[in-house]
Amino acid sequence: MVVQAEDHRICLQSHQGPRENFCQPSVDVLFRSVAALFGANALGVILRGMGQEGLKGCETLCAAGASVIVQDEASSVVWGMPGFVVRAGLAEKILPLDQIGNEIVRRVSARPSLQLTH
């Protein structure tokens, strides 16, 4: 999936490109499109999951000035995806699953209206 700006609206589109990290949909594809549209106004969230899926997308988000939070190892069934992001130094916060929702709400509530970077 990708997000795109169309006629001053944000649309979610199905991505028909090749698989990335053996995944389709791929969070890396989604995060790249989010970084391109929202830049530093974006917030990436990585929850439990296997492999490196999400790592490259988080690199792109961070390069655009965005923040990334991840689920902690203790509350994860599988800590592959968040673990790779943490070890790469890309996670701004590492939180238990039951605290992530409140953190998202706190951050969104504290920000002014989002402006597209395009």
Higher pLDDT, 19 or 107: 107
Indicate yes or no: pTM above 0.95: no
Q: pLDDT tens digits for 4-52?
A: 998 889 998 887 777 666 666 689 999 999 999 999 999 999 999 888 9
How are strands ordered across the β-sheet holding 43-46?
43-46, 67-71, 93-95
Domains and CATH numbers, the chain: 2-110 (3.40.50.180)
Q: pLDDT tens digits for 72-104?
A: 999 999 999 999 999 999 999 999 999 999 999
Other CB atoms within 10 Å distance of the CB of residue 23? 15
Cα separations (Å) of 108 from 39, 45, 62? 15, 13, 17
Strand residues in 36-115 grouped as ranges (E)? 43-46, 67-71, 93-95
- Element containing residue 12 per DSSP (H, E): strand 9-13
